[in-house]
Amino acid sequence: MTDYNSLFSEDTHSFFRSPVRDIFKRVDLNAIYSFAGGYPSAETFPLDQFKATMGEVIDKYGGKAFQYGATQGVTELREVLSARYGVPLERIQITSSSQQGIDVCTRILADPGDVVLTSNPSYLGALQSFRSYRAEVAGVPYHPDADGFKAAYEAVIESLFAAGRKIKFLYVIPDFQNPSGETLSLKERKILVELARRYGFLIVEDAPYRELRYSGEPVPTIYSLAPDIVLHLGSFSKIFAPGFRLGWIFGHPDVLDKIYVCKQSLDLCPPVFDQYVAAEFMGSGRLDRNLRNSIDLYRGKRDLMLSLLERNMPAGVKWTRPEGGLFLFLTMPERFDSVAFYDTALDAGVAYVAGSFFHTDGTGRNTIRLNFSFMTPERIEKGIVLLAGLLRKSL
Ligand SMILES: Cc1ncc(COP(=O)(O)O)c(C=O)c1O
């Protein structure tokens, strides 16, 4: 019998399974109250419009829509993105989703042992990618005031430099972070740019939730502050539909060129038919009309979640109040263990993601991430009442 393990590459030994995706394998999300995934609501997918747009694409492009396409993405989609975001064409690379954006950025920048700096907690899929290239992840705890924020980053960076470590990039989700829901202020974004320039690393700005804002004012992207040192990752997943698996990278042409060559060996080109559909949908204004409805829907769900938490959660539980995105983050008293509690919750029919899975150092066992986009308001209400009841008994 073949000993596969002796044949797997060194990199594979650093792969780790996503506990979040394992939850989806274990349970039927529609059969329980699921606050677990980052799934958009299926209500936000305008199926009739998708069908019509797909027909239009076939009429307009014929067989070209099903042929191989350019590695950097079809020109029509890059033009639509260029016009929408004011970024020149040569600075736009289409990706097969922003997860691929994270992966290619890591692949072109990080050698084994290099350091990727990120906030602690951070997005699990990114941590998986960094570790799969054997990069070391250094987490920086979030500080709500700008001085504390800067000091926390400086402390981690200085100690890494003192130890002779090479920081290649900072990975950050500045808008409605996954998992915390926090948004970085302009001052905090400028601090990150200043640190990147001072210490000579790049910033990968992951912004899949940026356009899902329900209250407050938009903050400029980090990319707009420093387009020479920032790679900005966008995604169609939350504003259109994740099944298309489409995203984009804005960045300096010299860096994009490396990504371009890297993507040739990854997938030759992003999905061509999907790109034409996205270009038509976005270019014709349908995406924006649909997005406005999604924002109204999610704003209602966020507000409902906040008021349900207020009314039902036992004393000692705190949570974030996100201005957008799909998640809020609960912090329990120190003694609570959300990993151990997970089976109790699942047996009772409610799922969440334990916050420690997003932590770079295994801390945060007293935290929980809750999604508010996926379920109907009725199910959100029943799920929160159920979860709060279970917590009341165990706290
Ligand atoms: C912060 C963050 N980045 C990237 C992704 C991946 O999104 P995509 O569907 O574009 O690959 C997610 C998905 O939830 C996310 O939360």
* Of 343, 341, 347, 349, residue with least CA distance to 391: 341
pLDDT value of residue 80: 98
Architecture of the domain delimited by 67-284:
3-Layer(aba) Sandwich (3.40)
Instruction: Summarize the confidence of residues 20-33 as an average pLDDT.
Output: 76
* Of 252, 388, 369, residue with least CA distance to 312: 388
| Beta-strand runs (E) in 202-284 | 202-206, 230-235, 247-250
Whether 329 shows a pLDDT value over 80: the answer reads yes
Q: What is the DSSP letter of 324?
A: B
Whether 206 shows a pLDDT value over 90: the answer reads yes
Exposed, middle or buried: residue 19 (CB in 10 Å: 0-12, 13-18, 19+)? middle
Instruction: Summarize the confidence of residues 379-384 as an average pLDDT.
Output: 97
Whole-number average pLDDT of the chain: 95
d(C-alpha 202, C-alpha 115), whole Å? 12
**pLDDT class of 30 with cuts at 50, 70, 90:** confident
Q: What are all long-range contacts of 15-23, with beta carbons under 8 Å and residues at least 24 apart?
A: 15/128, 15/131, 15/132, 16/128, 16/131, 18/124, 18/125, 18/128, 19/124, 19/353, 19/354, 19/357, 20/124, 20/353, 20/357, 23/351, 23/353
Residues of each domain in the chain carrying CATH 3.40.640.10: 67-284
What's the 99 CA to ligand 1 centre distance in angstroms?
Answer: 6
* Tens-digit pLDDT profile for residues 224-271: 999 999 999 999 999 999 999 999 999 999 999 999 999 999 999 999
Q: How far does CA 145 lie from the centroid of its chain?
A: 23
CB 349 within 8 A of CB 32: yes
pLDDT value of residue 111: 97
Contacts of 165 (CB under 8 A, 6+ apart): 113, 114, 115, 136
d(C-alpha 380, C-alpha 263), whole Å? 40
Residues of each domain in the chain carrying CATH 3.90.1150.10: 4-46+288-394
Domain covering 4-46+288-394 in this structure, CATH number: 3.90.1150.10
Phi, psi angles (nearest 5°) of residue 322? -70, 145
pLDDT value of residue 272: 98
pLDDT value of residue 66: 98
Whether 14 shows a pLDDT value over 90: the answer reads no
pLDDT value of residue 27: 75
Q: Which residues pair with 37 in a beta bridge?
A: none
Determine whether the shortest distance from the Cβ of 237 to ligand 1 is under 6 A.
yes
pLDDT value of residue 31: 81
Instruction: Summarize the confidence of residues 355-384 as an average pLDDT.
Output: 96
pLDDT value of residue 351: 94
What's the 138 CA to ligand 1 centre distance in angstroms?
Answer: 20
Determine whether the shortest distance from the Cβ of 99 to ligand 1 is under 6 A.
yes
* Of 172, 158, 50, 56, residue with least CA distance to 116: 172
Whether 43 shows a pLDDT value over 80: the answer reads yes
* Tens-digit pLDDT profile for residues 98-126: 999 999 999 999 999 999 999 999 999 99
Whether 324 shows a pLDDT value over 80: the answer reads yes
Judge if pTM exceeds 0.85: yes
Determine whether the shortest distance from the Cβ of 367 to ligand 1 is under 6 A.
no
pLDDT value of residue 143: 85
With H, G, I as helix, E, B as strand and everything else as coil, classify residue 54: helix
**Percent of the chain, pLDDT > 70?**
99
**pLDDT class of 72 with cuts at 50, 70, 90:** very high
Nearest ligand 1 atom to alpha carbon 177: 1
**pLDDT class of 192 with cuts at 50, 70, 90:** very high
* Tens-digit pLDDT profile for residues 130-169: 999 999 999 999 888 889 999 999 999 999 999 999 999 9
Nearest ligand 1 atom to alpha carbon 173: 1
pLDDT value of residue 387: 97
Whether 24 shows a pLDDT value over 90: the answer reads no
d(C-alpha 361, C-alpha 121), whole Å? 9
Contacts of 251 (CB under 8 A, 6+ apart): 91, 93, 227, 230, 231, 232, 259
d(C-alpha 127, C-alpha 18), whole Å? 10
How far CA 89 is from CA of 93, 152, 179, 226, 252, in Å, comes to 9, 37, 32, 17, 11
What's the 6 CA to ligand 1 centre distance in angstroms?
Answer: 33
Our mutation pick for probing the ligand 1 site, out of 39, 94, 98, 372, counting the most ligand atoms within 8 A of Cβ, is 98
**pLDDT class of 25 with cuts at 50, 70, 90:** confident
